[in-house]
Structure 1
Amino acid sequence: MPVTEIALLRLRAEEPSPITKTNLIQAQHAQSEFSKYPARFFRQIEDPQCFYITGGWESVAVHTGDWITSETNLANLGRLKDDVDVEWMFHLEMDPATSTIPLDAPVIAISRYFVAASNKDEYEAIFKKGIPHLGAYTAPFSYAGGWRIDKEGEDEEYVLFSGWNKVEDHFGFAESDAFKEFGEVRKVLKGAEIKHVRVEKWE
């Protein structure tokens, strides 16, 4: 089953050096060539030393088995080990071939919603009813989301990408009439983490 990878990494310096940028771009191109799906970088607005990677894989096994242990990947990681730390990485039930992550948006919100396993069905029902209101508010920018596959513990996690002109627009949605329906998901959440990013090319 095709899946989408998301990983959070942290730069040890405030800005990557030219050599670090070159190594990041090399790693990005190598992953894209191996997986046959584009790997992309996103720089976090709240903390610019943090950045995300998304990429597609034909399966979790291809990523964690074939790629992570490959000589090419290990060499790339070796070149970056003194400059970048991996905070976390997991996979989402999102087909990378049809994903609608809003890459054209000036700002992308990455929202992690934590849900007790017993509330997953209720979350999905509320989300399905409320998401059109989010889509109407963010238009013309799209949204995309999926459940986390490789979980830690029993809880579920849903990750939602949504596009905005600026961070303030996202905050404005939370105070709008359109949010009332979508905001019902808060009743079944154990917690949430929301960050904002911009597409980063480092070129």
Structure 2
Amino acid sequence: MPITEFALLRLKEKEPSPTTRSNLRDVIKEQSAWSKHPVNFVRQIEDPSLVYLLGGWASVAEHFGDWITSEPNQRLLAQLKGSIGIEWLFHLDIDPSLNSIPLNAPVLGISRYFVEASKKDEFDSIFKAGAPHLGEYTAPYSYAGGWRIDKEGEDEEFVLFSGWNKVEDHFGFADSDAFNEFGKIKGAIKGAEINHVHLEKWE
């Protein structure tokens, strides 16, 4: 099954220069042509210096073994070296060909849930039971989630993408009756990190 690349980048410029924007558009064009999957950048609302890359690959091996060392990628990295740094990069078991991440939403919530390995099945069960309540609240936008493939240590990580009209709607869900069932995941996690982003075209 194809997988989703999830990377966090940090802008070294307060606002990307025209050259940086052009280089980022080149990343979208060249990586998507190589991988045959769309590439999107989303910019964090809480800290606009942070930008996430979402892409797709047939496998981790195709990404790391073929693309990372390729001439086009090395050239793009060299062009962006002075303007962008890579904070981290890993992969999720979300099939990018399904277009399930709601990038059409005005605001995309990114929730990273950190789970002990022994509680992965418990988390899955709670999430499956509570997800329909989340879907009712995010409508007309959707949600998509997946487990981190290339882990660090023994713990698991589940990343949830949810679509919202505005950040306040996401916080409103946490205060709603619909959250009662979904909120049971708190008992199955070690911690969570929640941020919000919007799609960037770099025009």
1:135 aligns with 2:135: yes
Following superposition of structure 1 onto structure 2, how do residues 155-170 of structure 1 map, counting pairs within 5 Å? Answer: 155-170=155-170
Runs of 4+ that moved beyond 6 A: none
| 1:193 shift after superposition | 0.4
Q: Which amino acid aligns with 1:90?
A: F
Stretches of structure 1 that go unaligned for 5 or more consecutive residues are none
Stretches of structure 2 that go unaligned for 5 or more consecutive residues are none
Cα-Cα RMSD = 0.6
Query: 1:76 maps to which residue?
Result: 76
Distance 2:64 2:194 in 1: 26
- Per the normalisation by structure 1, the TM-score is 0.99
C-alpha deviations, 1:152-202, integer Å up to 9, x for none? 000000000000000000000000000000000000110100010000001
How many percent of aligned residue pairs carry the same amino acid? Answer: 66
| 1:26 shift after superposition | 0.6
| 1:20 shift after superposition | 0.6
1:200 aligns with 2:185: no
Query: 1:50 maps to which residue?
Result: 50
Q: Which amino acid aligns with 2:107?
A: V
Query: 1:183 maps to which residue?
Result: 183
1:65 aligns with 2:65: yes
For the residue of structure 2 that corresponds to 1:122, the secondary structure is helix
| 1:13 shift after superposition | 1.1
Distance 2:183 2:27 in 1: 39
For the residue of structure 2 that corresponds to 1:196, the secondary structure is strand
Query: 1:10 maps to which residue?
Result: 10
1:152 aligns with 2:145: no
Tell me how many residue pairs correspond in the alignment.
203
Say whether the 8 Å CA contact 1:115–1:155 is kept in structure 2: yes
Distance 1:109 1:170 in 2: 7
| 1:99 shift after superposition | 3.5
Say whether the 8 Å CA contact 1:126–1:184 is kept in structure 2: yes
- Per the normalisation by structure 2, the TM-score is 0.99
| 1:146 shift after superposition | 0.3
Say whether the 8 Å CA contact 1:99–1:144 is kept in structure 2: no
